[in-house]
Amino acid sequence: MATLQKIRNKAGLLVIVIGVALLAFIIGDFLNSGQAFFRMSQDKVVVVNGKKVTTQEFSELVNRRTEEMQAMFRQQYGMSLPEGYSARINKDVFDQIVQEMVISDAAANVGVQVSKEELTDLLQGDHIAPQIQQMFPSKAELLNFLQVIFNDDLSQYPENVIEQIQDYRTKWIALEQDVKKQRLSEKYLNLVLKTMAPNKYDLQASYDNGRKSVEFAYALQPYSSVADKDITITNEELTAAYNKDKERYKQDAHRTIKYISVEIVPSEADYKTTEEKINALRETFASTKDMGGFLTFNTDVPYSEAYVAVNTMDDEMKNFVQKSQVGDVYGPFFEGEAYKMYRLMGKHNAPDSVKVRHIMFPLNSDAATTTRIDSIYTVLRNGGNFAEMARQYSAERNSGANGGEIGWVTETDAMQFGKEFNDLCFNSRNNGVVRIESPYGIHLVQVTERKANVAKANVAQLVMNVRPSSDTYSELYNKVSQYIANNNKLADFEANASNEGLLVNTATLTPDDISFGTLNDGRTVVKWAFNAKKDVLSEIFNIENSFLVAMVSDISEKGYMPQAAVEPYLRQDLMREKKAEKIIADLKAKNPTNIEAAAKAMNSKVEEAKFISFNTSSIAGLGSENALIGAATTAAKGKLEGPIAGNRGVYMFAVTGQENNNEPIDAAAEAEKYNQKVYVLLNQFMSVLEENADIEDNRIKFY
């Protein structure tokens, strides 16, 4: 009972404790869910008309594009993507997303769509999309591919093949969406083009604008003839001018930064150390029996067993080869920021280049593929159609589509496929079809032509680039670090740089920027600038072989430039307008009756303009003066016209001659000229669509 009574006495406190605990639980749950909601609401790279693209979706698109570009660079240039290319891919993906979403909304507004039947036709019907045709030259091959990747029963395949098939399926579904979006864009833009297509009256009007040309005499009184001090501009006039043309002063967000960049270059000690290293290797380089193995660990230029035409070598190497015997060594010598040595490994005469074709099959082919290779090999050796077989069966699609033709190759090119491939091409007279293996696959190869023999040599190169040592790296880093420690205010940062042999640069950055100054890939700095506060130093960036440190000196957000920022332009425009008014008023008061009198009244002289039509864009000696051109081409002959305010000053003129081209219209030529203008308008139309869309760009937060 006593215990029960204690519980009763503490009941009020217990309720409070339980209530507080429950409230804490509810608040905690709310905060957790709220944080999740907040993260979700913030997880948007771009929003177009209310439709968002998340970081995951954007990253998937970027990864796809990166894979595509990586494959293209390897295939076309034999190299990986250049440093900094990822930032350009991000921008390309963003631009594509915005364009597709804007066009999608615009197309929906006018009822343009891509039907299921139309999409099927583009994917596997009679009008297959070009990007699919490029991957699958034959429709049979395409349908076979689709049958495999959409087969629900994959039990016949090993696990690694199943994973590959599933990956292909995912990529195909993404490709379907790409084809659909591209077709929608084509249909919508074709519709827009048709609305701008000229009819016969448009073509006639365009022709008529250019068929009449005039000559006229004119006099110009430049605006500079009126002193600035004689013109009064009030604050009210400046404000009125700003409000009238405010749309001209729209701006995107931008940041102005001050930055110092110190190039990371080798010191004198680094040059000396590199020279000592290469000298220490000379004896081994001259005597080694395993040149490939030795150079693997010691040179910056990979060793190739390919023989190179002597006449294509640089002068240094050519002189060495021509004067040396096999086994001779030359160097070390210094050239192009590297210490080098040559060793002559061999000399012979061989074709300069050969013309080759091949059919390639994957390595580790299954039994069915191996049987097919054997069959094709037999057919070709018995005179079968090589080009047709290559188009149908080659796994290397670029050459396959061209009948297997690789084209003319040198030994350096051929050696990329391995020594066996190279020996077949250059050290054999076999013109038949030969089966060989390379790191890329199984090849059925045939040499179809050989150029004349030339002198060739194989030269091993021991090349040691001079690089900054860790001591040099630390010394330069410490120099920058010490400078910013002592000069962490903007005024000091700028004022004291020259005393330390440093240069302060200025850059104005937009959220879209990738490069600035001499940097090809400054995206890291751009991202920092848009997330930094004014007058706060950045970290020390190690970027493109330089240490860079920056400070934001000015922040401008998206919107209208303030009146104070554009006041010089406003004042310039108002000055021109007021000077024009004054000159025109003076001329009207003097009331000249002919062009000579007008020139005298303007303290000027009479000039001539010839061959001026409505289509003329500029006048010799004057530049762009549209108001004068428009007035002159419509004025009567012999009558004094003006005054007219132009870009350079005020004009008066009199037409002295008129000429009409009586040749009949060439409708085709006129249509071509008209269509060129239409395509310019189409680009402007896309810009207007994007300007009128509600676009939220948050890339700078993530990329």
Q: How far, in Å, are 115, 294, 301, 470, 553 from residue 298 at the CA level? A: 62, 7, 9, 19, 47
Q: Annotate 640-679 with b (16+ C-beta within 10 A) or e (fewer).
A: bbbbbbbebbbbbbbbeeeeeeeeeeeeeebbeebeeebe
Enumerate the H helices of 514-645 as residue ranges.
523-530, 563-590, 595-601, 626-634
Instruction: Using DSSP bridges, classify how beta strands 308-309 and 453-465 pair: parallel, antiparallel or unpaired.
Output: antiparallel
For Cα atoms 539, 540, 543, give the angle at the middle one, nearest 5 degrees. 125
Best CA proximity match to 490, nearest among 428, 430, 555: 555
Q: 461's torsion region: left (phi>0), alpha (psi -120 to 50) or beta?
A: beta
Question: In the prediction, which pLDDT does 21 show?
Answer: 39
Handedness of CA 181, 182, 183, 189 (dihedral sign): positive
Instruction: Using DSSP bridges, classify how beta strands 504-509 and 212-222 pair: parallel, antiparallel or unpaired.
Output: unpaired
Cβ-contact 362, 395 below 8 angstroms: yes
Instruction: Using DSSP bridges, classify how beta strands 51-53 and 453-465 pair: parallel, antiparallel or unpaired.
Output: unpaired
Place of tokens 């091959």: 141
The distance of Cα 506 from the centroid of its chain, to the nearest Å, equals 24
Output the six-digit token pair for 518.
């001499």
Query: Rounded to whole angstroms, how far apart are CA atoms 443 and 68?
Result: 25
* Phi–psi pair at 596, nearest 5 degrees: -65, -45
Question: In the prediction, which pLDDT does 23 show?
Answer: 38
Question: In the prediction, which pLDDT does 645 show?
Answer: 97
Question: In the prediction, which pLDDT does 490 show?
Answer: 94
Best CA proximity match to 206, nearest among 661, 627, 682, 674: 674
Query: Rounded to whole angstroms, how far apart are CA atoms 328 and 124?
Result: 63
What residue type is assigned to position 378 of the chain? T
Q: Helix axis angle, 386-393 relative to 367-381, nearest 10°?
A: 160
pLDDT along the chain (703 residues), means of 10: 36 36 41 44 85 93 89 78 84 92 93 94 92 82 86 80 86 91 91 85 79 92 96 96 93 94 97 97 96 95 93 94 96 95 95 93 78 91 91 84 90 89 84 88 91 95 97 96 95 95 96 91 94 95 96 93 93 96 96 96 96 90 94 94 96 94 79 81 87 90 86
Place of tokens 């012999």: 638
Question: In the prediction, which pLDDT does 162 show?
Answer: 84
Query: Rounded to whole angstroms, how far apart are CA atoms 135 and 401?
Result: 10
Cis ω for the linkage preceding 332 (within 30 of 0) = yes
Name the β-bridge partners of 551.
258, 537
Calculate the dihedral angle through the C-alpha atoms of 542, 545, 551, 555, rounding to the nearest 10 degrees. Answer: -100
Q: 623's torsion region: left (phi>0), alpha (psi -120 to 50) or beta?
A: left
Output the six-digit token pair for 350.
């061989």
Element (DSSP H or E) covering residue 262:
strand 254-263
Best CA proximity match to 289, nearest among 456, 460, 423, 457: 460
Query: Rounded to whole angstroms, how far apart are CA atoms 214 and 640?
Result: 14
Question: In the prediction, which pLDDT does 456 show?
Answer: 95
Q: Helix axis angle, 2-9 relative to 11-42, nearest 10°?
A: 50
Output the six-digit token pair for 461.
């190169």
Question: In the prediction, which pLDDT does 42 show?
Answer: 67
The distance of Cα 146 from the centroid of its chain, to the nearest Å, equals 33
Query: Rounded to whole angstroms, how far apart are CA atoms 672 and 262?
Result: 53
Q: Annotate 347-359 with b (16+ C-beta within 10 A) or e (fewer).
A: beebbbbbbbbbb
Query: Rounded to whole angstroms, how far apart are CA atoms 519 and 526?
Result: 11
Residues contacting 660, CB < 8 A, separation 6+:
211, 212
The CATH fold assigned to 253-265+469-557 is Chitinase A; domain 3 (3.10.50)
Structure letter (DSSP) for residue 353 = -
Q: What is the 3-state secondary structure (H, E, C) of 393-418?
A: HCCCHHHHHCCCEEEEECHHHHHCCC
Query: Rounded to whole angstroms, how far apart are CA atoms 639 and 653?
Result: 8
Question: In the prediction, which pLDDT does 440 show?
Answer: 84
Q: Collapsing DSSP states into helix, strand and coil, what is residue 176?
A: helix
Query: Rounded to whole angstroms, how far apart are CA atoms 599 and 56?
Result: 70
Question: In the prediction, which pLDDT does 299 show?
Answer: 95
Query: Rounded to whole angstroms, how far apart are CA atoms 341 and 356?
Result: 34
Q: How many CB atoms lie within 10 A of CB 122?
A: 21
Residues contacting 678, CB < 8 A, separation 6+:
193, 196, 197, 198
Mention the CATH class of domain 353-451.
alpha beta
The percent helix, strand, coil of the chain (3-state, each to 5) is 55, 20, 25
Element (DSSP H or E) covering residue 542:
strand 541-543
